[in-house]
Chain A
Amino acid sequence: MMAHILIIDDEPTINMILQEVLRDEGHEVSSAPNGKMGLEVMRQNPPDLVICDLRMPDLSGRAVVETMRTEPVLQPIPVIITTGAVYDTDEFPPAELYQATFSKPFDLIEIIDKVQELVEARTR
């Protein structure tokens, strides 16, 4: 099943890898290097799913998710969080605001499966 996925990550390598692997799966992928631009992109063209890093300059992943949940158009979009954080820190948004989390370094297959699962659940 094809879907439009937005990747927000300030790490160019990770951003690039996620784009490549999801395109391989046949998804339409857009990307943003930080939270501010991520929000701009999704407001112009709301995606079916967002993959978002937590620790980013200008606007953190937590702020991005919290902002999304206040905007009616962005509110229903599922979010996968990727993070290098070790502990449950206050960098995380409240658990009910996002659907899944992956700790770096993550397994690409697991992310692909999760994306698939969330996309199917959304179109059903």
Chain B
Amino acid sequence: MKQFSLRNRLYVLILIVLIPLLFLQLFAIISRYDRALHSEIDASLDFAEAVNVTFKNYLRDLWNTEYSIALALTAGEGFNSPEQIERYMKGIARMYPAVEGFIWLDRQYIVLASTISSIKRGDNLANQRYLKQIFYGEDQVVSDLVTEDTESFLPVGRALRDNNDQLVGIIVAILEPSRMDEIVPISRNDERSAFGFIDRKGMIVYHSLLHDLPIEKKKMWNGSPATPAFHGIVNVSAKYYSPITEDYRMGAYIPMSSLGWVTFVTSNRHDVLGQVILATIRDMVILVIVAILSLCVALRVGNKFLKPIRVLQQTAQAISQGELEARTLIQGSDELAVTGQIFDEMAERIQQLEISRTRFLQTAAHELRNPMAGIKGLLSLVRRRMAQGKPLGDITQMLEVMDREIDRLSNLLNQIIEAFRTQRDRTQLSLILKKVNLIDVVFVTLKPFQLTVHQCNFIRDIDTSSDIWVAGDSVRLEEVIRNLLSNAVKYSPNGGNITIRLTTDDGNAILVVKDQGIGIPQEQVGRIFDCFYRASNLERRDPGGMGLGLYICKEIIEGHDGTIWAESEEGVGSSFYIKLPLYKNREEI
């Protein structure tokens, strides 16, 4: 289960990086949509204001004209009959394209003259609501939409009063809503954009798109976005369904305060936002695809990243369970791969160490058992002969043999103890460093060999004219040199040359012991200094070795801050090198 938790953490990391980016993109898309929406609504509001002003200006102009007409009529100049008045009024009406005609009323609201066919001279219009406003003192009035059968029209009245504020007469212009395009000669870009006016009763007076709206469809529906505007509140709606145009629309409704009307400017939502919505959907789809793709790529990369860790884990587990031959075999050069390779090297060392340890145990047991078997065997032999009453044999020789075997046992034990001691802690080697002449050390060590070993030729290549001083423990250094010499003797053929060369080079003393012996297989040269390691070709020739001699040499030389190494060719010979810093280079002593 544990290996999945790392993966989960990785996924969380990926998401932590990815999610804010997704949100940023999402926010950008939404704001673009919002901006489009708001700019349309702002434009609608501006347009509505402009329409408002234009319409009011038109009314002011119309009222002024009406006042002029009324003044002219009451001045009595040349107007002897209603026909004359009507002709005059028709002439003026032609100048106002939206005006169908004028009506001239006396102070009793009785029609004196009319250019409108549906209103006759003598008609009493006192019950008209807008004229009642004049009765209550207003001079300039606009009616709500007046409907008659299928016809609808819009009366605009102007009262004329004398100096005593007494009503003299009223002139009324009848506007035909379908011709009101002339009043607000502005058009909007979008095909289905519209503007218009709604009167106090909620009837559409003018609709720029639908000139011929049937009367029953002119009534604003309940809960329409116009409602707040009747209470003086500017209202915008981003989305509503209009039963009049039968589509989803958006737009602005603003009050036309002096009249109590509402001006509207609306657009088909799809016309305005269609492109934006399409672009938004497209952006969203791209965003989702990109998100999925990057998630997939991230997971792939993540898995690739996790794989070596998992391999490392499995390998470590296998090794801990005793499968010492397990390896990660990770290739590559990144940190994880290098960790894997170092791990493999470590595993190799552990395995080799284990092999060495096993071999050492076997060798140690074998070497210890041989002398023990000898002693025990001799004892049983003597006891058996005594029991059988036979001659005991040469007892002196038997005791000598037993004595020798016990010495062997004790020597082996000393070697083992020494090996473990140096392995446990190098500092416990307890070297006593003094200024020593390496030439003397070599000569002292070499002497017994030259006296006792006759099958080899010792060749000294040492310049004795000047001393070679090193800081060293002469006893231990002798031990090292003795070890190298006895190895050289042990593995050399009869008559072989053993060369001992001592030189100095770049602040170091260099001692070389070169033989013409059996050599060491190339691939094993680097390992012969390991504890318990024995070159494979020694096993037959000298099965008793424990693989400790060179290990102890290395420990001693490294304790002197020196280095020891070997060069060898199998069947040709080996050279062992020791490099020790000269005394003058070791100021601290």
B434-468 at interface with A (beta carbon < 8 Å)? none
What residue in chain B is nearest A20 (Cβ atoms)? B381
Query: Given A55-B366, A57-B543 in contact, is the A105-B381 Cβ separation under 8 Å?
Result: no
On chain A, the residues within 8 Å of B357 by CB distance are none
Instruction: Indicate if B541 sits at the interface (CB-CB under 8 A).
Output: yes
CA of A17 to CA of B377, assembled, Å: 6
What residue in chain A is nearest B365 (Cβ atoms)? A86
- Within 8 Å by CB of A14, from B358, B373, B542, lies B373
How many interface contacts (CB-CB < 8 Å) are there between A and B?
A: 81
CA of A107 to CA of B383, assembled, Å: 12
B376-410 at interface with A (beta carbon < 8 Å)? 376-378, 380-381, 384-385, 388, 390, 393, 401, 405
| B interface, CB within 8 angstroms of A | 358, 361-362, 365-378, 380-381, 384-385, 388, 390, 393, 401, 405, 540-543
What residue in chain A is nearest B541 (Cβ atoms)? A57
On chain A, the residues within 8 Å of B370 by CB distance are 11, 13-14, 84, 104
A-B contact pairs, 30 of them (CB 8 A): A11-B373, A11-B374, A13-B405, A17-B381, A18-B377, A20-B393, A21-B384, A24-B381, A24-B388, A24-B390, A56-B543, A57-B541, A57-B543, A83-B366, A84-B366, A84-B367, A84-B368, A85-B365, A86-B365, A87-B362, A89-B362, A104-B369, A104-B370, A105-B377, A106-B373, A108-B377, A108-B380, A108-B381, A108-B384, A109-B380
- Tell me what chain B mostly uses at the interface: helix, strand, loop, or mixed: helix
Residue of A56, A87, A104, A106 contacting most chain B CB atoms (<10 Å): A104
Q: Is the CB of A14 within 8 A of B384?
A: no
On chain B, the residues within 8 Å of A84 by CB distance are 365-370, 373
Instruction: Indicate if A96 sits at the interface (CB-CB under 8 A).
Output: no
Query: Given A24-B385, A58-B540, A105-B372 in contact, is the A14-B366 Cβ separation under 8 Å?
Result: no
Cβ distance A83 to chain B, nearest Cβ, rounded Å:
8
Residue of B362, B373, B380, B405 contacting most chain A CB atoms (<10 Å): B373
On chain B, the residues within 8 Å of A87 by CB distance are 358, 362
On chain A, the residues within 8 Å of B368 by CB distance are 84
Cβ distance B548 to chain A, nearest Cβ, rounded Å:
18
CA of A13 to CA of B373, assembled, Å: 9
Cβ distance A74 to chain B, nearest Cβ, rounded Å:
22
What residue in chain B is nearest A86 (Cβ atoms)? B365
Interface string of A20-61 (1 = CB under 8 A from B): 110010000000000000000000000000000001111000
Q: Is the CB of A21 within 8 A of B381?
A: yes
CA of A24 to CA of B390, assembled, Å: 9
Query: Given A55-B543, A56-B543, A105-B372 in contact, is the A13-B401 Cβ separation under 8 Å?
Result: yes
CA of A20 to CA of B13, assembled, Å: 82
On chain B, the residues within 8 Å of A104 by CB distance are 369-370, 372-373
